[in-house]
Amino acid sequence: MKLQSFSSYQFVDGGVCAAQGFKANGVCCGLKHQALSTATEQAAAANQPAAPATKKNDLAMILADVPCTAAAVYTQNKFKGAPILVTKAHLADGHAQAVIVNSVNANTCNADGEQKANAMCKLAADALGLAENDIIVASTGVIGQSLPIEPIANGIPSLVEGLSYTGNSEAVHAIMTTDTREKEVAVEFKIGKKTCRLGGMLKGSGMIHPNMATTLTFITTDAAVSPEMLQRALSDVVRVTLNRVSVDGDQSTNDMVCILANGKAGNSEITDEGADYLSLRGALYTVMLNLARMCAADGEGATKLIECIVSDAPSEDVAEKLAKSVIESSLFKAAMFGADANWGRIACAMGYADCDFEISGVDVDLASAEGRIAVARGGFGVPFSEDDAKRILLEDEIQVLISLHSGEASAAAWGCDLTYDYVQINGDYRS
């Protein structure tokens, strides 16, 4: 997938380790093995074959050299994972220095969930010589199964020992669940005369349907910024990036986006919405926009990234609601899987969106690297070549371009097609 770039921001390698003063690592501590052992016992009792073992990383850490200002946004699902509750308490003062995160088990809907999340923080804090409330904790994986703390305790020594300024790849692999590819982006930019960097990593493939956050996303920067301005930038950018991604209409219990800023770039601390703040927010937007697109492109079972852009709308709110309604439609997503230019499914999804617009002003085009074709004008379908449309829709990145001709606002949303593989993946997710 091609990254979307902006002139003031240069892409660099390193993900969460791109910024000065951040180390990371990931290890296999055996959470999947423990889960498989239980499953093997159950399979043996039922005379079924055991699942294969795995050595995939399942425990990750990010560590800053110095204390950081920090901010986060969280899922609005009422069944919040225990790590969310613990992290919110730890970030009440706007500061943190390390992140510990596991995959395989979400530590959600468990009576001992907060106890286990706090235990993870204590284990990490003791190993790093930090206070417990300086640790951000996160988990992802199966919901409703008690998280075994012993593998995590056993894995932390090697996790800490292996922390490095180039450990981002090991960390990315540790947070992946049904993801098929790593998702990390970093940029270099200027704040005044100081060169700064900002980078992030994301996990997310299924249960993607946002409200205040999407997936697990961890971002680091060496810019100096106050907790209040860092929170403002994060909340603003999440709204127009990750909150406009939908894979399957299911919102996770564990969604969280957090950012750490250690100030090592040496810029004057950002405390207001001036030019320096805009530079930082632009860097954050560049990274999170591309992470959002990566997330949509790697939706469970997906073969295509779909971008819906609504332009010439009376307000951004209307444009956003329409773009998201199209992206979220299962019928539309299925049509894109089949490369079927059935624009009626786009019209249907627009029609039940919770906003008002003039149908007589609606134009719809479909586009990809293979070209662009008009399928509706003035709210009505127009003749088009089915062969040309099929060729356009067979590409792996598709655009749905909608103009309302009723204003100057616009918004984009990102999703993917709905395939047979989505059902297969989720039919045996716990296996």
CATH of the domain at 259: 3.60.70.12
214 has catalytic annotation: yes
352, 217: one domain:
no
* C-alpha to C-alpha distance for 202 and 207, rounded to whole angstroms: 14
Q: Do the domain assignments include residue 143? A: yes
282, 363: one domain:
no
* C-alpha to C-alpha distance for 137 and 195, rounded to whole angstroms: 30
Q: Do the domain assignments include residue 391? A: yes
Q: Which of 140, 178, 214, 286 is an active site residue?
A: 214
Maximum Cα interatomic distance, the chain, rounded to a whole number of Å: 68
Tell the residue number behind the tokens 């947070």, with chain if given: 175
Q: What is the pLDDT of residue 325?
A: 97
166, 282: one domain:
yes
Residues of the chain with pLDDT under 50: 37-44, 49-52
260, 180: one domain:
yes
Domain final residue pick, 253, 272, 297:
297
113, 175: one domain:
yes
Q: What is the pLDDT of residue 48?
A: 52
Q: What is the pLDDT of residue 43?
A: 42
pLDDT digits (tens, 9 = 90+) for 44-97: 455 554 444 568 999 999 999 999 999 999 998 899 999 999 999 999 999 999
Q: What is the Rg, in whole angstroms, of the alpha carbon atoms belonging to the chain?
A: 22
Q: What is the pLDDT of residue 50?
A: 45
Q: What is the pLDDT of residue 49?
A: 45
172, 253: one domain:
yes
312, 199: one domain:
no
Q: What is the pLDDT of residue 307?
A: 98
62, 166: one domain:
yes
94, 181: one domain:
yes
Q: Do the domain assignments include residue 3? A: no
Main-chain phi, psi angles of 338, to 5 degrees? -85, 5
Q: Do the domain assignments include residue 4? A: no
Strand partners, 308: 400, 413
Domain final residue pick, 255, 276, 297:
297
252, 350: one domain:
no
What residues make up the domain containing 138?
10-297
Q: How many domains does the chain have?
A: 2
Q: What is the pLDDT of residue 421?
A: 86
167, 46: one domain:
yes
Spell out the residues 6+ positions from residue 210 whose beta carbon is closer than 8 angstroms to its own.
242, 243, 244, 245, 246, 251, 255
DSSP string, 126-147: HHHT--GGGEEEEE-SBSSSPP
CATH of the domain at 370: 3.10.20.340
pLDDT digits (tens, 9 = 90+) for 296-333: 999 888 999 999 999 999 999 999 999 999 999 999 99
Domain final residue pick, 262, 278, 297:
297
User: For the chain, how are helix, strand and coil distributed in percent, rounded to 5?
Assistant: 35, 25, 35
Q: What is the pLDDT of residue 368?
A: 98
251, 351: one domain:
no
Given a contact cutoff of 8 angstroms between Cβ atoms, the answer to whether 127 and 151 are in contact is no
Which ranges of 168-315 would DSSP assign to H, the alpha helix? Answer: 168-175, 227-240, 275-297
